[in-house]
């Protein structure tokens, strides 16, 4: 049973959310503010943290910064009533795996948590040197994309992006997630650069029509095979 550390200062909402997450099969530790959550982290390590942003004593952003200092690889999600782009980018820039604006459907939160935990498990695995992508073999150590029609030597950035798509196949991958993780920036020029790299990967993988790297307008990409 996966363990969630959840912070939420609204007693009614927090109680309902905790109950729903438990019904979905998680074990939930609920704290009312950041200092309580940090104290708990000294006694038990959760699998993921679900953090409200607007809290008394210590807000969610400050809490996340403290968590990262202790557990750099801890996955976490922000819950907030804020919808401003700057706040969302700040949260993702801190390394958040997702940022969910209230009000939201509890089912959506459960699905996102499950996806994040799956990705975290995949990322923690020692990947084989050669990955299979349809008709292709991807040697991510040697930056080589291998196919019967010929081999392609990828740049380091192309290889990192293809590896990211491989680890997140068959799900909607947000542009902001890719830009902040691989480009460390979400500005206009980084976005244009990402589009160029995606176009290159589509061309490289075009010999296998079962592989799909599609753009979901205004959101991100889906990589399927």
What CA–CA distance (Å, rounded) separates 32 from 79?
13
Predicted pLDDT of residue 84? 66
What CA–CA distance (Å, rounded) separates 188 from 194?
10
pLDDT in tens, the chain (225 residues): 889 999 999 999 999 999 999 999 999 999 999 999 999 988 888 989 999 998 988 989 999 999 888 887 788 999 987 766 677 777 777 888 888 888 888 888 998 898 888 776 655 555 677 889 999 999 988 899 999 999 999 998 999 899 989 988 888 888 988 887 788 777 888 899 999 999 999 999 999 999 999 999 989 999 998
Written in H, E and C, the secondary structure of 81-131 is CCCCHHHHHHHHHCCCCEEEECCCCHHHHHHHHHHHHHHHHHHHCCCCCEE
Can you read off the two tokens belonging to residue 173? Answer: 């991958």
Tell me if residue 184 falls in helix, strand or coil: coil
What CA–CA distance (Å, rounded) separates 94 from 29?
23
pLDDT tens track for 149-204: 999 999 989 998 999 899 888 888 889 888 877 887 778 888 999 999 999 999 99
């Amino acid at each position: 049973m996966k363990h969630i550390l959840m912070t939420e200062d609204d007693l009614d909402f927090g109680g309902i959310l905790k109950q729903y997450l438990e019904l979905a099969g998680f074990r939930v530790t609920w704290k009312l503010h950041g200092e309580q959550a940090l104290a708990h982290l000294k006694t038990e390590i959760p699998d993921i943290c679900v953090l409200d942003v607007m809290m008394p004593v210590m807000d969610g952003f400050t809490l996340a910064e403290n968590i990262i200092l202790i557990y750099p690889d801890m996955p976490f999600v922000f819950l907030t009533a804020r919808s401003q782009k700057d706040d969302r980018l700040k949260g993702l820039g801190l390394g958040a795996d997702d940022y969910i604006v209230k009000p939201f459907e509890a089912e959506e939160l459960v699905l996102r948590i499950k996806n994040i935990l799956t990705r975290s498990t995949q990322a923690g695995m020692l990947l084989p040197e050669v990955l299979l992508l349809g008709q292709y073999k991807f040697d991510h150590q040697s930056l080589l994309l291998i196919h019967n029609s010929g081999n392609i030597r990828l740049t380091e950035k192309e290889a990192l992006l293809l590896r990211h798509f491989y680890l997140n196949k068959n799900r909607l991958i947000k542009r902001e997630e890719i830009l902040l993780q691989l480009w460390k920036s979400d500005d206009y020029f980084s976005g244009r650069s990402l589009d160029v790299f995606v176009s290159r990967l589509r061309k490289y993988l075009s010999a296998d029509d079962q592989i799909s790297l599609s753009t979901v307008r205004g959101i991100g990409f889906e990589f399927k095979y």
